A and B are shown apart, each in its own frame.
Chain A
Amino acid sequence: MRVVLAEDLFLLRDGLIRLLEAYDFEIAAAVDNGPELTRALLTLKPDVAVVDVRLPPSFTDEGLQAALHARREFPGLPVLVLSQHVEQLYARELLADGSGGVGYLLKDRVFDAEQFVDAVRRVAAGGTAMDPQVISQLLARNARNEPLGGLTPREREVLELMAEGRSNAAIAQRLVITERAVAKHTSNIFGKLNLPPSDDDNRRVLAVLAFLNGG
């Protein structure tokens, strides 16, 4: 699987390259600034891009802008965005085109190599990987509002994992419950949030986030 990597800190870029190569990814390009990232994304069209939000030369959100630009050229181009901080605002922008293949994680998540690589693969496959922090921010804000307040604690747990982009099987494993129990929870959640049920993992995430943003 071919990866374009953009990270301006040498140590981190080096670490990411080693990590991804250890898990049999092929590094198509590893760049350290915005313009080069844009060029790499448009010419190499990788299977997945791992991109730091803040890049030279402006040290603003160059990485995010380059990713969004490339996704306008190639809709659905899988992009996993890394950052020192997560903002709902950016999550919404990344998800806005509704074509999936988007991840948005704190850099800390790289510590857990297994989980991080899992997220990269999920994004490359057209799924989503939202940082738990994005979800918990959303839930914290909406905790007092109906109908989110009407969810049971278990259902909230399931919703959080669902919004991270995990499948029912993965959720079942994580919460140590049966897949059937997860399916029951999800249909309850969809019912309480007035979301049309769907099988597609990615569409589930989009529906949940659209609801949370609109709420």
Chain B
Amino acid sequence: MKIGLLSAVRGLALALLALPVSLVLFIFSVVFFAVTFPIGFLTFPLVVGLVRAYANARRRLAHAWFGVEIKEPYKPRPRFRRGLTGLFQRYRWVVADPATWRDVLWLILDATAGFVLGLIAFVLPMYGPYGWVLAAGVWKPIVDAGGGDWYTFIHVMNQDDANKAAMLGVVYAVIGLWLAPRLTRASSLLSRGLLAPTRERELQLRVAHLTETRSDALDTQAAELRRIERDLHDGAQARLVAMGMSLGTIEHLMDRDPERARRLLTEARESSSKALTELRDLVRGIHPPVLAERGLGDAVRALAMASPLRTEVSVELPGRLDAPVESAAYFAVSEVLTNAAKHSGAQRVWIDIRHEDGRLRIVITDDGRGGADAAGGTGLRGIERRLGTFDGVLALSSPVGGPTMVTMELPCVMTSPRR
């Protein structure tokens, strides 16, 4: 009932929007393209800009009102040169993009079919109450004035006819309310046919996305390898060299100066201890042992235990995740926790990890002062890039005054159930 009414009203709103705006924009597009030289050359890109803004608004509306998701199909805007060349480039950019023409087609479709569907969605359920109005006595003045209203197939001339009209009105209302959400949805789906990226365009977009995330992934990986190389070179490797030297000296001193040899031995053992500690820290940074041994849930619990903040962890994972996803998720959580401890002034943190509908979902909430900004260089960008490699996304909600909530989602499958 409520959904039906809401859809009817939204249908009307859409119809009222579609007829003037879509029609006017359609005419503008056609006219300004037709008079290419010299005015259209300048103005057509502007009109297309308007069309795109309007189409984008309608894309969002289709999602918000009717649950039909429509992605943007446009080619990315290149950098234009100044002056006349730039104008020409701009003109080429809009004309060469098939999405422009699909938008124009959609405008005329929306102004006609979209308009009609929206109108029916509204009028049909409203026609029912009109029958009731007739039955309530309005039929009389109409007949008195020499008229005689046709309610569908009923010629309303007396109260009896009007009652029948009222009953038919109930049927109209019921059918109308049932039909309204379906009609508006159908209209949105119709729009999607033209507003959504074509299969080809979608693949292009996907390739662009993959190229970008792949180069990000390679950059991060290369940087990681460089860091590991440096750590090994300056750390464990150097200590082993020192140890080897000490041992050589000890061999030499053993008979002549046993006391000094013993001192050097102690030093060598300390050196080996330090080398081990350094290797341990390095390994923790590459792939924490607890993650390898226990999986994401317990690894995050171990993180929580080590965090200076009071951290509550709840995990719902039926098995182990793919190792690369596990690792990415772990380091993301680690980074967010570190951020919370450093910047948020929070006392407590809640971490929720679950796997639903083929997606890993991690929500981290703190009771800090909020105001965190993904663009503020607090490491969130880095996490976003890292997750991007796995088609994962990060959403940040951090109003000033808190709380801060970081939500991460990664598509992934579970592998072997735990033990």
How many angstroms between the C-alpha atoms of A33 and B237 in the bound complex? 31
B-side interface size class: 20 to 34
Which of B273, B289, B301 has the largest count of A CB atoms less than 10 A from its CB? B289
How many angstroms between the C-alpha atoms of A108 and B298 in the bound complex? 24
Q: A85-B280, A141-B308 are in contact. Are A60 and B269 (CB under 8 A)?
A: no
Within 8 A of A (CB), among B249-294: 269, 272-273, 276-277, 280, 283-284, 289-290, 292-294
How many angstroms between the C-alpha atoms of A85 and B292 in the bound complex? 12
Query: Is A61 part of the binding interface, using a Cβ–Cβ cutoff of 8 Å?
Result: yes
**Which B residues are CB-close (under 8 A) to A152?**
none
Q: A60-B294, A108-B273 are in contact. Are A144 and B289 (CB under 8 A)?
A: no
Q: A88-B302, A111-B272, A137-B306 are in contact. Are A54 and B293 (CB under 8 A)?
A: yes
Within 8 A of B (CB), among A156-174: none
A61 touches B293 (CB 8 A): yes
How many angstroms between the C-alpha atoms of A158 and B272 in the bound complex? 27
Query: Is B307 part of the binding interface, using a Cβ–Cβ cutoff of 8 Å?
Result: yes
Chain B nearest CB from A15 CB (Å) reads 14
Query: Is A87 part of the binding interface, using a Cβ–Cβ cutoff of 8 Å?
Result: yes
| Interface majority SS (helix, strand, loop, mixed), chain B | helix
Q: Name the contact of A84 in the complex, choosing from B272, B280, B419 (C-beta under 8 A).
A: B280
A53 touches B293 (CB 8 A): yes
Within 8 A of B (CB), among A55-114: 59-61, 65, 83-85, 87-90, 108, 111
Chain B nearest CB from A206 CB (Å) reads 18
How many angstroms between the C-alpha atoms of A52 and B164 in the bound complex? 87
Q: Name the contact of A108 in the complex, choosing from B276, B289, B294 (C-beta under 8 A).
A: B276
How many angstroms between the C-alpha atoms of A54 and B294 in the bound complex? 11
A85 touches B283 (CB 8 A): yes
How many angstroms between the C-alpha atoms of A22 and B277 in the bound complex? 27
**Which A residues are CB-close (under 8 A) to B298?**
89
**Which A residues are CB-close (under 8 A) to B273?**
108, 111
Which A residues fall within an 8 A CB radius of B?
53-54, 59-61, 65, 83-85, 87-90, 108, 111, 137, 141, 144
Known: A89-B298, A141-B305. 17 other contacts (CB 8 A): A53-B293, A54-B293, A59-B292, A60-B293, A61-B293, A61-B294, A83-B289, A84-B280, A84-B289, A85-B284, A85-B289, A85-B290, A88-B306, A89-B301, A89-B305, A111-B272, A141-B306
A-B contact pairs, 27 of them (CB 8 A): A53-B293, A54-B289, A54-B293, A60-B293, A61-B293, A83-B289, A84-B280, A84-B283, A84-B289, A85-B280, A85-B283, A85-B289, A87-B290, A88-B302, A88-B305, A88-B306, A89-B302, A89-B305, A108-B273, A108-B276, A111-B272, A111-B273, A137-B306, A141-B305, A141-B306, A141-B308, A144-B308
Which B residues fall within an 8 A CB radius of A?
269, 272-273, 276-277, 280, 283-284, 289-290, 292-294, 298, 301-302, 305-308, 419
